[in-house]
Structure 1
Amino acid sequence: MPLIVRDATPADVPAIAALYADEVRDHVNTYEYDVPDDAEMARRMRGVLDGGYPYLVAELDGEFVGYAYASSYRARAGYRKTVENSVYVVPGRQGQGIGAALMQALIDACEARGYRQMIAVIGEPTNTASIRLHEKFGFTLVGIFRGIAWKHDRWLDTVQMQRTLGAGTSAPPQDE
């Protein structure tokens, strides 16, 4: 079976929660310390979807291999056309085009919803796979925040990248 990217459903929450738990415990792609349970991940998913943002899952041969979503970059009304992306791929499945398929589907879904900018907040400049993925999709480096997070007994830098969506800043939003 080919790789399928589809809208996430509540049935996907256990797989999403398990993948995210690995990231929280063992990595610095999130600066969260405590692993959220399935109920919390379901609440978060509902918040993303209720906000009108896309939440996607990738399957390969019928098996969950990753997820992605966009959410509000900031809470203030002026940021309403800017989203922050999140893309996670199951360990051992990186480098198989899953992240790229999720990213393209996420960009398409955000453009269809009228969003104008997408921000990537990448934990650590050493996460070259994520940086390369974002560059492949037209993201450019905005900057690196030095030592702004503490996790796994060390200070962490955070990479910020940005990509224009749709009409970008060439026209006001349609809801103006």
Structure 2
Amino acid sequence: MPLLLRDSTDADLVAITAIYADEVIHRTATFELDPPDVAEMASRIAAVRAQDLPWLVAEIGGELAGYAYLSPFRLRPAYRYCVELSVYVSPRHQGRGVGKALMTVLIDRARQRGLRHLIGAIGDSGNAASIGLHRAMGFREAGVWRETGWKFDRWIDVVLMQLDLTPEGGPPPGEGLRL
């Protein structure tokens, strides 16, 4: 079945919440311990959209297979050309190119926006699939926050990866995010 990528709508909220809840409960991509409810996820999506940043979903056969979004990296104005990229794929659809497809669109949109850097903060240095995907998309390792999260009765690292969208440097082309 073909993969459909599109901007999220309110109709996707329950499925987005379910995908994220599964990640919170079973894996370490996020350090949250309790899954947020639908209202909280709606608030998070609204905060991303308030920055005029994308929140995308991927569908396979009418089922939400994953989602991804850009968010401000830090809230101080000097960081306005740098965003964090987050990708979550339903366990049923992992390993099928969903994450790569979502990342490709987000990278293109970040370039069109005139942003300079994308940051991936990958929970768990043992998350080989996510680290490998980021590397395949051109991200390079920028550092590791060692043992910064306690989840599932163990310490977990955060691997920071960075994609430089304008490696030639120079002044930024626009105003970046409104922070």
Both structures adopt the same fold (TM-score exceeding 0.5): yes
Question: Equivalents in 2 of 1:78, 1:17: separation in Å?
Answer: 32
Deviates further, 145-154 or 16-25: 145-154
CA contact (8 A) 2:141 2:159 kept: yes
Equivalent residues in 2 for 1:1-176, closer than 5 Å: 1-165=1-165, 167-168=166-167, 170-175=169-174
Q: What is the RMSD of the two structures over their aligned residues, measured on CA atoms?
A: 1.2
* TM-score with structure 1 setting the length: 0.95
Q: Is the CA contact (8 Å cut-off) linking 1:116 and 1:169 kept in structure 2?
A: no
Question: How far, CA to CA, are the matches of 2:52 and 2:78 in structure 1?
Answer: 16
Q: Is the 8 A contact 2:114 2:174 kept in 1?
A: no
Distance 1:77 1:169, change over 3 A: farther
Residues of 2 paired with 1:14 and 1:2: CA distance? 22
Which amino acid is 1:16 matched to? I
Q: Distance in 1 between matches of 2:113 and 2:55?
A: 13
Matched residue type, 1:144: V
Q: Distance in 1 between matches of 2:90 and 2:116?
A: 29
Alpha-carbon distance in 2 for matches of 1:143, 1:62: 38
Any gaps of 5 or more consecutive residues in structure 1?
Answer: none
Distance 2:55 2:171 in 1: 26
Instruction: Please tell me the residue identity of whatever aligns with 1:28.
Output: T
Gaps of 5+ in 2: none
Q: Offset of 1:53 from its aligned partner?
A: 1.1
Deviations 1:39-92 (CA, angstroms, capped at 9, x unpaired): 110110010011111110001122110000010111110000000010011102
- Alpha-carbon deviations, 1:107-139, whole Å to 9, x = none? 111111111100000011110000010011100
Return structure 1 stretches of 4+ with deviation > 6 angstroms. none
Distance 1:91 1:60 in 2: 13
TM-score (norm. length: structure 2): 0.94
Counterpart residue type for residue 174 of structure 1: P
1:143 Cα shift?
A: 1.4
SS at match of 1:74: coil
Give the deviation of 1:175 after TM superposition: 3.2
CA contact (8 A) 1:54 1:110 kept: no
One-letter code aligned to 2:69: Y
Change (3 A) 1:169 1:76: farther
Residues 22-53 of structure 1, C-alpha deviations (whole Å, 9 max, x = no match): 11111111001121100110110010011111
